[in-house]
Amino acid sequence: MAMPQVHIVAYCGDLGYGVARGAGDAVADAGLGIISRIGCRISGRQDRGIRTTADRLGRARLALLFYLFFEQP
């Protein structure tokens, strides 16, 4: 799952957006990842983790579903 984050800067450069835009996307991705992990940790403590795991898996499935609706370069 980390492979897209590694190549996002070069990919944005290849698409013509520029590497600065790719670097901004990489920073935003890292920041949102930190927020997500903190939120998962807090909610996991409240409900013993089973519901949190099911919720996160459902959200991951939903995120993967969105790939169907975006145009391939």
pLDDT digits (tens, 9 = 90+) for 9-54: 888 888 888 889 888 988 988 888 888 888 877 777 766 777 777 8
**Helix spans in the chain (H):** 3-15, 19-47, 50-65
Quick one: which of 11, 10, 5, 1 has its CA closest to 27? 5
pLDDT the model gives residue 58: 87
Quick one: which of 55, 20, 9 has its CA closest to 36? 55
pTM exceeds 0.85: no
pLDDT the model gives residue 72: 62
Centroid of chain to Cα 54: 17
